[in-house]
Amino acid sequence: MKIIKISNNSEAGKVVSDLILEEVKSNSNIVLGLATGSSPITTYENIIVKSKEQNIDWSKVTTFNLDEYKGLAPDHSQSYRYFMNNKLFNHINIDSKNTFVPSGMIETNQEAQKYDELIAQKGGIDLQLLGLGINGHVGFNEPGSEFEGLTSVVKLTKSTIEANARFFDNEKDVPTQAISMGLKSIMNAKKIILIATGEAKAEAVKNLVEGPVSKNWPCSILLNHKDVTVVIDHEAAKLLK
Ligand code: GLP
């Protein structure tokens, strides 16, 4: 696991956007795994600016997002599809047909696993971007999730609902379930970059970097992956030995 220490999320955006754009420049057919949440926003902002400046071609790039809230339609202002269109896709020359976000209308795990089949059909994810939940979740794989899990309908924990309530008018509006790529779907990516900034992530970062690998901290499974880069600020790193 490679660790890059930066001073804040704005610097994370500069560093991670460069890492992603280098990959896109060297492989115009790349398959990217993308994340939502506040952590990757500065990365997407930098990608938009640099793609214009450097004339980077996204027309053959394919993207798969990690997760979507169950029950939210793509045009719902808190859906992850809406987030991705607004924060990234509408501002680069990506073909919308090549951007995939799990449907919030999926009801069964059988339907959900078609997402993994689609990822495999497209050749698998070359580079997966991740954020980190306060409780160590990646995607919406909450503590206790199976390491072998594929895309499925998942139940959100109370702490995740509380953490994400800031994006909704009312905590009661936060969906209690989501469709999320599983830990195995994530581990199948060839390369992974995770962004974690701020003190609230410190305990999860400690478990991610120092282990032990345990279902109590889903992020700790990344210790078993051979190409993970973790981009953290001093606050998120403060419990590390
Ligand atoms: C959300 C998302 C995750 C994200 C995490 C952290 O619940 N499902 O994919 O990484 O929480 O969010 P943030 O970056 O806003 O701290």
At 197 the pLDDT is 98
- Determine the atom of ligand 1 nearest the C-alpha atom of 66: 9
Q: To test ligand 1's pocket by mutation, which of 80, 137, 154, 217 has the most ligand atoms within 8 angstroms of CB?
A: 137
Ligand 1 interacting residues, C-beta cut-off 6 A: 35-39, 66-67, 131-133, 139-140, 160, 164
Among positive and negative, which fits the CA dihedral 63, 64, 67, 72? positive
Torsion angle in degrees (nearest 10) through CA of 204, 206, 211, 217: -10
**CB count in 10 Å sphere of residue 143:** 17
Please tell me the chain's helix, strand, coil percentages from 3-state DSSP, rounded to the nearest 5.
40, 20, 40
Q: Closest residue (by CA) to atom 5 of ligand 1?
A: 133
- How far apart are the C-alpha atoms of 133 and 67, rounded to whole Å? 13
Q: Is 220 exposed, middle or buried (0-12, 13-18, 19+ CB in 10 A)?
A: buried
Please provide the distance, in angstroms rounded to a whole number, between the alpha carbons at the two ends of the chain. Answer: 15
Tell me how far the alpha carbon of residue 100 lies from the centroid of ligand 1, in angstroms: 18
- Determine the atom of ligand 1 nearest the C-alpha atom of 36: 9
List the pLDDT tens digit at each of the 241 positions of the chain.
999 999 999 999 999 999 999 999 999 999 999 999 999 999 999 999 999 999 999 999 999 999 999 999 999 999 999 999 999 999 999 999 999 999 999 999 999 999 999 999 999 999 999 999 999 999 999 999 999 999 999 999 999 999 999 999 999 999 999 999 999 999 999 999 999 999 999 999 999 999 999 999 999 999 999 999 999 999 999 999 9
Sequence spans of domains, the chain: 2-195+211-233
Tell me how far the alpha carbon of residue 13 lies from the centroid of ligand 1, in angstroms: 15
Tell me how far the alpha carbon of residue 160 lies from the centroid of ligand 1, in angstroms: 9
At 119 the pLDDT is 98
**CB count in 10 Å sphere of residue 68:** 27
Q: Supply the residues annotated as catalytic.
A: 67, 135, 137, 142
Q: Which two tokens stand for residue 40?
A: 């990757």
- How far apart are the C-alpha atoms of 114 and 196, rounded to whole Å? 30
Tell me how far the alpha carbon of residue 93 lies from the centroid of ligand 1, in angstroms: 26
Q: Closest residue (by CA) to atom 1 of ligand 1?
A: 37
- How far apart are the C-alpha atoms of 52 and 31, rounded to whole Å? 20
- How far apart are the C-alpha atoms of 232 and 204, rounded to whole Å? 11
Residues 6+ apart with CB under 8 A from 210: 240, 241
The CATH number fitting domain 2-195+211-233, selected from 3.40.50.1360, 3.30.9.10, 3.60.15.10, 1.10.10.10:
3.40.50.1360
